[in-house]
Structure 1
Amino acid sequence: MPFRWTRVLALLLLGIGTRAQAIEVCDAPPRFGLSQAAIAIVRAACEEHRQWMRPFIDRQGRLASLRVTEAESGNLADHGLVPWQRVAGYWRESGTLSQVVGEPGAASCWAPPGNRFTDNDCRAFLIDTPWSAAFVSWVMTRAGVMNFTRSPRHIDYIRAAFRDGGSGGPYRFTDPTIEKPAPGDLLCFIRNRRQVMGFAGLNAALASRAGVPNQSHCDIVVAANVGGDRTLHLIGGNVLNAVTMRQLDLDRSGRVVLPLPRVSEDGGDATGPGAECTPAQPDQCNFNRQDWAVLLKLQVADPAPAAPAAPPPVDPQPLPQVPPAPEAPGQAAAPNTPPAAAPPVEAAAPLKSGE
């Protein structure tokens, strides 16, 4: 074989080997040491991401893939699952739909699909109403996380972590620039503000109960630094109208490198890349530039293993009866009594030194 073709074949084999080594973080086995609660949360979020055909925002904040969105009537990855009906299921099964029953179209999402009027009414509600908190609540319900504040508003369970995190709540309110994210955690940002709030501002607002933001968003951490790639992988609902993964950088210590936040100058929705994102300024197009303000650390302890059952009590066995001695001629029978105990044996005297 000529040298040129040998070299081409070697390069092809090298490329095949490189591709074979790539693995989706959601397909990797759980990291050693994760709690069962964290594993269940990651599994539920990853399964939904697979259903939505794995859209993601890369580390540069660019949308790299988006194949289906919330209002469509096509199929998700498993045929028979329709996107808008799946979102309606997040609302119903999380218990959050009953909290917004007064919103136009919400009541129609209780009806089974198939009626044109209620279908269209429900789809309009799903398009007009943010469902990211309903998705997080659904994941926590699916994972069986106890005492989680299920709500259509992220700020409700952020507030619960601030208030109850130190006294048995499932999440603890922490600074994302200090604590290291791990699977099962929630990383949250504040939306639609003209000024950056950050952890200090959010902490102060919750402590004083004044100026608490009512618009926020949380993503679920599903993987961190897999294979030493220094990448944080998160999954959120209603991110660009789908269940979307987001990638953020980690530093060498494992802490998230938060992008420079972008604020909303006109008070509008600040979750997009902003008006400065144009074909002439692609460096300004970054969906990861948010006001990341809090890391909710999962602190659910797995139930302690049950103590082994005590062995059943043993019934005391009766002492064996000593058979009577045979009678000698002209002698009375001996009583049926156990033999007398042997006299105790004296312990040997201890050896003296030198003996």
Structure 2
Amino acid sequence: MAPGYARRHMPRRNAFLFFPHRADFARAFIGTLCLAGAPALALALAAPSCLDTAMQAPAPSRALAMATFAVQEHEAFGGQSMDAEGRMTEAGDSEAEDTRRTVPSLAPWQRVLRYWEAVDPRLPTQVRFGGLRPANRHLLMQALNEATAGRLQGMGVGPDEGLESNELRAVQVALARTSVIDTPWSAAFISWLARQAGLADDEFVFSEAHVDYAGAAWQAGAEEAAGRPTRYAMRACDLRRTPPRAGDLVCQARGAGAELDTFDKIGEVLATRDTGGEALPMHCDVVVAVDATGFDAVGGNVLQSVTRRRLDFAPGTRWLDPSYLPEGCTPGVAGCIDRHMSRQPWSLLLQWR
């Protein structure tokens, strides 16, 4: 037999024959792309799972629970709202206010401290005062505890010196309220909602940074696309190609200046960044309602409150209207709707799996 005869005359086999199912081939190919350093392309090829889930699968019960808790917190904060053009239509309570809408309810600053418990009960700690570094409110309280009236009198100081218990409590509250103001809490809000919905530590990254749980969702999507198991609750999808459901998170890298204004660009960062790594300013809202013309989303620390905003679909579609995007259209030009405060580089959807 001449050299190469067998190779030339053997029946050509389709690559799919090496895999019992085409899905197995697709998963293996996508996994190879991930290993080869093409994460955005790999997840783009896996995008049908995002679209299929959005169009065919109802939102899971825990996703609906997350949306319900978000609505409740929005109401507890006074119902601050923005219309589809990004204009505030209802002013709510600010983060540091001490107002209580009912006698047993928590004040806004207390609610924010409760959100932080989902991340770390010791947070927030920052107290800014104009110095190069902020002070730590816990260390400040330790120092003040040394100056109570009872302690000073025990050291021989006069009876009119030092802080009484009510005065110490007042300073403690003032420091807590200051720390609430001085520390961004939007990711803590999302983390608290996730815990309230029943997610465990292997299903969600509870963090003070949106990028941490977004990166974990990106990794979960890559694992899923490669056919490997993951318990993470969400996957990363392209918001511009995937309709949201209640409970999903809609995200953006803060401001167009971040230059991470597309799914592919932000994916390049999420695919390689370790949890707790370099800072990446982001913001995410949780979708609480979807209808034929758009959706409502609730976010924390939006204009110093828990705010509900309306985002419209492009007419006749289930896709976010491009006028919300910095490059979508030019405000002031005929046919371009000015979205004001909602005009942001929305690109990432964290979809419940």
Could you say which TM-score interval applies, normalised by the shorter chain?
0.5 to 0.7
Equivalent of residue 105 in structure 2, options 80, 94, 108: 80
Equivalent of residue 96 in structure 1, options 113, 117, 120: 120
Pair 1:66 & 2:120 matched: no
Equivalent of residue 224 in structure 1, options 262, 268, 290: 290
Gaps of 5+ in 1: 1-31, 264-275, 278-282, 300-355
Equivalent of residue 209 in structure 2, options 145, 153, 160: 153
Partner residue in 2 for 1:176: 239
TM-score, normalised relative to structure 1: 0.62
Shift of 1:80: 3.5
Choose between structure 1 and 2: higher helix proportion: 2
TM-score, normalised relative to structure 2: 0.62
What is the aligned residue count?
247
Name the larger-Rg structure.
Answer: 1
Shift of 1:95: 2.8
Q: Which amino acid aligns with 1:143?
A: A
Deviations 1:189-212 (A, max 9, x none): 111552353211101223354997
Alignment partners' CA distance in 2, 1:109 and 1:82: 23
Equivalent of residue 325 in structure 2, options 253, 261, 277: 261
Go from structure 1 to structure 2 and tell me whether the alpha carbon gap of 1:181 and 1:110 turns closer, same or farther (over 3 Å shift): farther
Partner residue in 2 for 1:51: 76
Shift of 1:77: 5.8
Asked if the contact 1:51/1:77 (under 8 Å) is kept, the reply is no
Q: Which amino acid aligns with 1:189?
A: Q
Asked if the contact 1:258/1:292 (under 8 Å) is kept, the reply is no
Q: Which amino acid aligns with 1:218?
A: C
Deviations 1:257-276 (A, max 9, x none): 2434349xxxxxxxxxxxx9
Tell me how large the CA RMSD over aligned residues is.
3.2
Deviations 1:56-87 (A, max 9, x none): 11001101111311111112467532111111
Partner residue in 2 for 1:186: 249
Alignment partners' CA distance in 1, 2:268 and 2:120: 28
Shift of 1:89: 1.2
* Fraction of identical pairs, as percent: 30
Mapping for residues 1-355 of structure 1, pairs under 5 Å = 33-76=58-101, 80-92=105-117, 94-98=118-122, 101=125, 104-105=135-136, 107=138, 115-146=169-200, 147-165=203-221, 166=224, 167-192=230-255, 194=257, 195-209=259-273, 214-225=280-291, 228=292, 230-251=293-314, 252-262=316-326, 286-299=340-353
Asked if the contact 1:37/1:144 (under 8 Å) is kept, the reply is yes
Go from structure 1 to structure 2 and tell me whether the alpha carbon gap of 1:179 and 1:144 turns closer, same or farther (over 3 Å shift): same
Q: Which amino acid aligns with 1:125?
A: S
Alignment partners' CA distance in 2, 1:100 and 1:41: 23
